[in-house]
Amino acid sequence: MTAALPPELHPVLLDEVRGYRGHALLLTGPARAGKGGLALRIAALQNCSGADPRSPEAPCGHCASCRSLALGAHPDLLTVSPRTTTSTGRVARRRIIPIGAILEERDDAHEFEQHVYQFVELRPTYRRRVVLIEGAEHLNENAANALLKLIEEPPYDALFLLLAEDLRAVMPTIVSRSARLSVTPLGESGMQRAATLAGLQPDPELLALAAGRPGVLGAAEAVTAALEDGRRLTEAVRGSLLETLEAAETMEKRFDSEWHVQALHHLWQHESPQVRAHADDALERLLSALEGYASPSLAFQVFALDLRAAFGEGG
């Protein structure tokens, strides 16, 4: 099996943390802007044995540590993510990282195979244990407070990489104890390079929706499908009721809340402010209905009717 580290799309930021010996780095920026890929390269930098971590050649991508990280099986890396489903398997209404992810004795439902406290108390296989917290703004208060104690005095000099889209939503005590990196969207040349590295020749509309976020290119097929569904529905609401309901049914069958929402907002950007406001309200009502476990079929039918009203009956 062959694998590779994420492409180096933010070399300037990576250079800023070469030789970093602090205990916490907080990476902030829009979703899909490249925080995750940069965090993995920072983790690789900590344990790369093929080059001096302070050298531009590190991480080398070829040593045992880099190879195991690229394969997703690094012994010194633990990734903690917000729960996206409930104990019954349904979509969670509110994403959260509970204290059970941090402390084994608080994991009453045995949801987590590894817990942060137990993980960092083990001597690293290479040089440094790294805990990657995806969605640091979703740490509940108890989890954040428990994590804070580790960040202040981590065993074996462990490093915490915290990712967040909204800095304001991260607990101030976590922010104050972390060095910060702002991961901003790439420019046009950076996105073209990201597309080339991904083996893609994305169309202009995909690049426009991505808006400098290279992570969107990794889901090009799903994004393209969402754009097709959104375009069909937006055109149908100006036609017959039957066409509108059929388009809504098609969207329902492969609805992806992340990509369809972004696709619709992208497609509606040139509509009048009044139309956009009413259409956005209709979309919010649809998402609320789905989060409330309403009948998806009924929810999309109502959404379709709301859009017809927003865009004007057939007009």
**Same-domain status, 135 and 206:** no
Q: Is residue 4 part of a domain?
A: no
What is the model's pTM? Answer: 0.87
**Same-domain status, 139 and 206:** no
Give the mean pLDDT per block of 10 residues along the chain (315 residues). 77 90 95 95 93 86 93 95 64 77 89 92 95 95 92 94 96 94 94 88 88 94 96 95 96 94 96 96 95 90 96 63
Single-letter amino acid code for the residue at 185: P
The confidence score (pLDDT) of residue 93 equals 56
Residue 119 tokens, joined: 């993980």
Q: With beta carbons less than 8 A apart as the criterion, state whether 142 and 116 touch.
A: no
Distances (CA, A) of 150 to 45, 54, 91, 131: 21, 26, 30, 11
Q: With beta carbons less than 8 A apart as the criterion, state whether 207 and 198 touch.
A: no
Question: How many distinct structural domains can be found in the chain?
Answer: 2
Q: Is residue 100 part of a domain?
A: yes
**Same-domain status, 231 and 292:** yes
Q: With beta carbons less than 8 A apart as the criterion, state whether 21 and 179 touch.
A: no
For residue 113, the cross-strand partners are none
CATH code, 122: 3.40.50.300
Q: Is residue 83 part of a domain?
A: yes
Distances (CA, A) of 222 to 227, 260, 263, 300: 9, 9, 10, 19
**Same-domain status, 46 and 157:** yes
**Domain span holding position 117:** 11-184
The confidence score (pLDDT) of residue 124 equals 96
b (16+ CB within 10 A) / e for 292-315: eeeeeeebbbbbbbbbbebbeeee
**Same-domain status, 177 and 42:** yes
**Same-domain status, 69 and 151:** yes
**Same-domain status, 217 and 88:** no
Q: With beta carbons less than 8 A apart as the criterion, state whether 11 and 41 touch.
A: no
Q: Is residue 197 part of a domain?
A: no
Domain boundary among 135, 156, 184: 184
**Same-domain status, 174 and 43:** yes
The confidence score (pLDDT) of residue 314 equals 42
Q: Is residue 76 part of a domain?
A: yes
Q: Is residue 1 part of a domain?
A: no
Q: Is residue 261 part of a domain?
A: yes
**Same-domain status, 126 and 157:** yes
Q: Is residue 35 part of a domain?
A: yes
**Same-domain status, 273 and 215:** yes
Question: Which residue do the tokens 């993980």 mark?
Answer: 119
The confidence score (pLDDT) of residue 1 equals 43
**Same-domain status, 180 and 238:** no
**Same-domain status, 143 and 267:** no
